[in-house]
Amino acid sequence: MTQNPDLTPKQIVEALDKYIIGQKDAKKNVAIALRNRWRRMNASAEIQNEIIPNNILMIGATGVGKTEIARRLAKLANAPFVKVEASKFTEVGYVGRDVESMVRDLVEQAVNMVKEEKQEAVKVKAIEATEEVILDALIPPVKQKSGGSLFGLGGTETNDNVSNEDVALNEKTREKFREKIRNGELDDRKIEINISQNPVSNIGVVGPGMDEMSMMNIQEMLSGFMPKKTKKRKVTIAEAKKILLEEEAAKLIDMDEVKEEAVRKTQNTGIIFIDEIDKIAGGSAGKSGPDVSREGVQRDLLPIVEGSAVNTKYGIVRTDHILFIAAGAFHVAKPSDLIPELQGRFPIRVELNALTKEDFYQILKEPKNALTKQYEALLAAEEVQLSFEDAALDKLAEIAFYANSEVENIGARRLQTVMSRLLNDFLFEIPDTITPGTTLTVTAEMVEERLADLVKNRDLSQYIL
């Protein structure tokens, strides 16, 4: 996907349109929020820190695109993104799990992103270094002795009588093999390499009253004391290439720089998506769990959304400019059931519409990741060409819509169940009875035949669709 941080709001909406049908209002507002970040970064330094993000509350039934919009937005912005379920924090066993962990997850994400970028940047060098290590294992270099050294090692490895010709020959052979390694000719050959092992990563030092943070610190500290171990392993050259590439790339990357950049990236561009926020709304609304714990979670969330400093193993992360998008169905609880302080922290409210039959038709057909495209690709792998007549899609949309209204409204996710029901037999029979080279065209009649009865029979469809 594009990684253009300079997209205008219109362009952002256009990019989202490629994946999400409808939901104009939601798209428009997330586009504004994203562009506001760019605006802030380009504002004068004194005011920059004063500009706070306008966090968004998305309200909409299940399966209408809330998570999808946030996820695509983060990709578009090339921003670190985490999704948490607010209700997780109230579950038994999780009570008291500090909500700050979402920020730690976010910075972890950012570190991975930055690391990947840097790895990409040093890739060419790292590959060269990798080839060198493999080459050394295959054909150790002979070095001409620097004339008359008293400290010659002797023994098996260095030969006292290395001539100029030997060195030249060795270098020539190495050159040939370097080429062979590069073009994969030797990939199946086995060699022995030293692989450095991470010093014990998880040490059980959980004491009572110890939180995640101090746990992490202790682990970091201990692993710092442990000597880095290496282990000899016999692997194919193809495997060695992979293993060594990571090690060699790591040597070329300055981890301190990565950490700093990741913290900065988190602070300025991070997006935290808090799902099921309605489940922690108080009032008479909730079905389970003590009210106290739900309100407690809301209170725990406050400082983070408000802007505070969170201690992570990569340094202190300020949350002031992180964009928070909260989402919930709010079927039972209302946004006004949230504690006022938290409500106030999500000033932008967007409602997502229920999806219509026409939306379903388009969702089946248009998005880049549309279900029809997914199945076409799956079957293409079997050399079976699958296609859908428009009338068939129309029928599918109608059935999905009907099932949603009759059984339970699960939004666009209904399309998946309907589609898999429709194609299941094909999926089973390929490639045994339906052989590669076949062309399958799904017609409206076919949809009717396979699904119509099911839909009419309400009891049956409850289980199957």
Ligand X SMILES: Nc1ncnc2c1ncn2[C@@H]1O[C@H](COP(=O)(O)OP(=O)(O)OP(=O)(O)O)[C@@H](O)[C@H]1O
Q: Which residues bind ligand X (CB under 6 A)?
A: 20-23, 60, 62-68, 275, 329, 363, 367, 411-413
Smallest separation, CB 410 to ligand X (Å): 8
Residue 297's binding partner out of Mg ion, ligand X, none, with CB under 5 to 8 Å set by partner kind: none
Both tokens assigned to 191: 């060699």
Residue type, 118: K
Q: What is the DSSP letter of 434?
A: S
Residue 67 or 194: which CB sits closer to Mg ion? 67
Partner whose footprint covers residue 363, from Mg ion, ligand X, none (CB < 5 to 8 Å by kind): ligand X
Segment interacting with Mg ion, rule: CB under 5 A, options 63-71, 125-133, 239-247, 369-377: 63-71
Least separation in angstroms between CB 317 and ligand X: 26
CB 275, min distance to Mg ion, A:
5
The string of DSSP codes covering 87-134 is GGGGSTTTTT--TTHHHHHHHHHHHHHHHHHHHHHTHHHHHHHHHHHH
Question: Whole-angstrom Cα distance, residue 82 to residue 95?
Answer: 20
* Binding site partner of 412, from ligand X, Mg ion, none, Cβ cut-off 5-8 A by kind: ligand X
Instruction: Report whether the peptide linkage leading into residue 367 is cis, meaning its omega lies within 30 degrees of zero.
Output: no
54 part of the interface to Mg ion, by CB under 5 A = no
Angle at 445 between CA 444 and CA 449, to 5 degrees: 120
Give 196 or 374: the residue with its C-beta nearer to ligand X: 374
Which one, 12 or 21, has the nearer CB to ligand X?
21
Tokens at 428, concatenated: 């089973």
**What is the closest distance, in whole angstroms, from the C-beta atom of residue 322 to Mg ion in the complex?**
19
Nearest residue to ligand X by CB is 65
- Choose between 320 and 398: whose C-beta lies nearer to ligand X: 398
* Residue 22 near which of ligand X, Mg ion, none (CB within 5-8 Å, type-dependent): ligand X
The tally of CA atoms less than 13 A away on the side-chain side of residue 309 is 4
Task: Tell me the closest approach of the beta carbon of residue 414 to ligand X, in angstroms.
Answer: 9
Question: Which tokens go with 90?
Answer: 């109230």
Stretch that binds Mg ion, among 64-72, 132-140, 317-325, 382-390 (CB under 5 A): 64-72
CB-wise, 62 or 159, nearer to ligand X?
62
Q: CB of residue 370 vs ligand X: minimum separation in angstroms?
A: 8
> Which of Mg ion, ligand X, none sits in contact with 65, Cβ below 5 to 8 A by type?
ligand X
CB closer to Mg ion out of 278 and 394? 278
Residue 204, C-beta contacts closer than 8 angstroms, at least 6 positions apart: none
**3-class secondary structure, 257:** helix
Q: Which does 54 bind (CB under 5 to 8 A by kind): Mg ion, ligand X, none?
A: none
The vertex-410 CA angle with 405 and 411, nearest 5°, equals 85
Q: How many angstroms separate the CA atoms of 201 and 216, rounded?
A: 10
CA distance 167 to 141: 8
Q: Which is nearer to ligand X, 107 or 419 (CB)?
A: 419
Q: How far apart (Å, rounded) are the C-alpha atoms in residues 395 and 455? A: 12
Distances (CA, A) of 392 to 82, 301, 447: 37, 47, 6
The contact mask relative to Mg ion for 153-182 (x = CB under 5 A, - = no) is ------------------------------
d(Cα 291, Cα 334) in Å, to the nearest integer? 15
C-alpha span between 345 and 107 (Å, rounded): 22
Nearest to 318 by CA among 106, 26, 4: 106
Give whichever of 420 and 457 is closer to ligand X, judged by the CB atom.
Answer: 420
Q: Is 67 in the site for Mg ion (CB under 5 A)?
A: yes
Partner whose footprint covers residue 63, from Mg ion, ligand X, none (CB < 5 to 8 Å by kind) = ligand X
**Least CB distance to ligand X at residue 398 (A):** 17
Residues contributing to the site for Mg ion (CB under 5 A): 66-67
